[in-house]
Structure 1
């Protein structure tokens, strides 16, 4: 049942307002402890959001890396010190913990694997020091690869035209049901109406491992891939290899740019999330069979994955 005030609004406005009301209380600003709250340095600011009532929150790795002692501020003005639980530069995600006797409003992670082009999304964050700012747009691309901070390639990225600016990084990208389907990560310098977010299905498993172990050890293949639809029996999509590390395991095994990865260790890989989850549990040094399509012909290769190199500064 809608109130008289809600009836005066159009459907689009009501949808955006509901999404903001559901997720907004879980969103925080992140800055160095003791910094001025009105005009801190933009490069030392970011956003985040609680994913559990007991104080675990999600943000970007590049947001917390330069901050020695992070401090978070809620929409109601309360401020708390936060502790870094772990970070994963490969996916540009990090988990913080606020230790407090009470509970916090937590956002719910949705299913980003069901996103469709043109779908309405809402971004909430703290761009350019303006706390709790809302922007709305649509999903304009899926499965993108993006060069992140330090030159690292971040894969399986959501593209949106929702306005994002420095300080939005780490904030939630929300669907019309008020569920977080992405973690805002960057804008493309010099471009208008192009912004990016890490999908929630990646954020969910990364956060779970960081909370449990504090880090993610993954096997390294030495390639960059992007999702590509294919016509192959029982497979609707694969991962096209767009870059190969000449010194890595994939190159040594004979994989090439343009190959389409469809199975790893006997398991289908239709998204970057599936590949990342597989490699996070595969022991480095253990031989790994992969299947690829090359010129529409199925070929088998055996790789010897190594431990992913350190991505520290």
Structure 2
């Protein structure tokens, strides 16, 4: 179809557009008001789903005289309701080994919670309360995040009810060591301020969608905070709700998503333009036994292309444990295939 735009003289254009409103740029005040209103809208939608979690734990040990010693420890954290029938997502380190868990809703109601499932490797846990008229948070897609976009953290630091901080997504694809000693991959870095007690609370977009679970701060730094991506939680939640634990394959690397040059893609006929850069290899791990090295880029698992750490996590299923598999890697611009036998994660325990 041809469209003849023709030519329009300046006089005709001016006469035809006379009286039309001018597209004046917004003032600083208007931009700040729009930003404020966006945050307010998000908080009004999400804060009813955010809960305060108080826990009691009994720590056992021995005194200086080697006598048995038991001590009650109290702590608190945050979480958010993700189903209307009372399932709550939080951090493993908030509720792990708790003898009692109490949840306080945004409207002040309090309920005892039961542990449903716990996964120290991803620092995620699911607990449940039985209460009427609950509002569930809407889960987003952390795979679609962009560095620089708005991030809003909501939680209960130090027990202060519904504290809100804002910032941006500072970086993606980070690796972070969980308290179980395992490395959590594909972590979100944000500068939205977090404090003790924020752990387990949601990191939210301007569309009021949860895209992360706030999990850690770097105490010696300012503006460096981390959240577990919601897509990781989506993979973990079904198993925690069904079995109470996660049984997963493990190869023993710390990695980061990287882009692959078009020249390497074409020369090696790769189906992906990103891969997993191996930052380090754990001693005596399946990766070490397979000969993986720092600097390798993993691009395939059993002839299936790998674009990200998340792709690899999806393939390290219970069925992969003890089964000889193949990793396709790039090493100094050469394409290699190495054999590897994934092992079971040492933190996968019977519940």
Normalising by structure 2, report the TM-score: 0.81
The 5-angstrom pairing of residues 138-149 of structure 1 reads 138-149=168-179
* Distance in 1 of aligned mates of 2:347 and 2:203: 29
- Of the three residues 88, 109, 114, the one matched with 2:119 is 88
Judge conservation of contact 1:218–1:284 (CA < 8 Å) in 2: yes
Matched, 1:255 2:292: yes
- Of the three residues 236, 241, 252, the one matched with 2:278 is 241
Segment of structure 1 superposing worse, 219-228 or 146-155: 146-155
Tell me: higher relative CO, structure 1 or 2? Use CA pairs within 8 A at least 6 residues apart: 1
1:281, distance to aligned residue in structure 2 (A): 4.3
| Matched position secondary structure for 2:316 | helix
Give the unaligned 5+ runs of structure 2: 1-29, 58-71
Judge conservation of contact 1:42–1:128 (CA < 8 Å) in 2: no
Partner of 2:198: 168
- Of the three residues 4, 19, 28, the one matched with 2:42 is 19
* Distance in 2 of aligned mates of 1:161 and 1:95: 26
1:221-252 CA deviation, whole Å, 9 max, x = no partner? 12221111112243121111112122111111
- Of the three residues 239, 246, 257, the one matched with 1:216 is 246
* Distance in 1 of aligned mates of 2:136 and 2:167: 23
The 5-angstrom pairing of residues 55-66 of structure 1 reads 55-66=86-97
Segment of structure 1 superposing worse, 7-16 or 104-113: 7-16
Judge conservation of contact 1:260–1:294 (CA < 8 Å) in 2: yes
1:149, distance to aligned residue in structure 2 (A): 2.6
- The root-mean-square deviation of aligned C-alpha atoms, in Å, is 2.0
Judge conservation of contact 1:44–1:67 (CA < 8 Å) in 2: no
Structure 1's consecutive aligned runs of 4 or more residues displaced over 6 angstroms after TM superposition are none
Partner of 1:47: 78
* Distance in 1 of aligned mates of 2:42 and 2:278: 36
1:9, distance to aligned residue in structure 2 (A): 7.0
1:99, distance to aligned residue in structure 2 (A): 2.4
1:153, distance to aligned residue in structure 2 (A): 2.4
Judge conservation of contact 2:249–2:316 (CA < 8 Å) in 1: yes
1:84-116 CA deviation, whole Å, 9 max, x = no partner? 11111111111111123x241100110110100
1:266, distance to aligned residue in structure 2 (A): 2.0
* Distance in 2 of aligned mates of 1:259 and 1:13: 45
- Of the three residues 328, 333, 337, the one matched with 1:300 is 337
Judge conservation of contact 1:86–1:214 (CA < 8 Å) in 2: yes
- Of the three residues 266, 275, 278, the one matched with 2:312 is 275
| Matched position secondary structure for 2:211 | strand
The 5-angstrom pairing of residues 47-196 of structure 1 reads 47-100=78-131, 102-149=132-179, 151-196=181-226
1:287-312 CA deviation, whole Å, 9 max, x = no partner? 11110110111110111111111278
1:278, distance to aligned residue in structure 2 (A): 1.3
1:151, distance to aligned residue in structure 2 (A): 4.2
The 5-angstrom pairing of residues 196-211 of structure 1 reads 196-211=226-241
1:67, distance to aligned residue in structure 2 (A): 2.4
Normalising by structure 1, report the TM-score: 0.90
Structure with greater Cα Rg: 2
1:261-303 CA deviation, whole Å, 9 max, x = no partner? 1111222222222221211343311111110110111110111
- Of the three residues 302, 309, 323, the one matched with 1:286 is 323
CA gap 1:20/1:42 in 2 versus in 1, 3 angstroms: farther
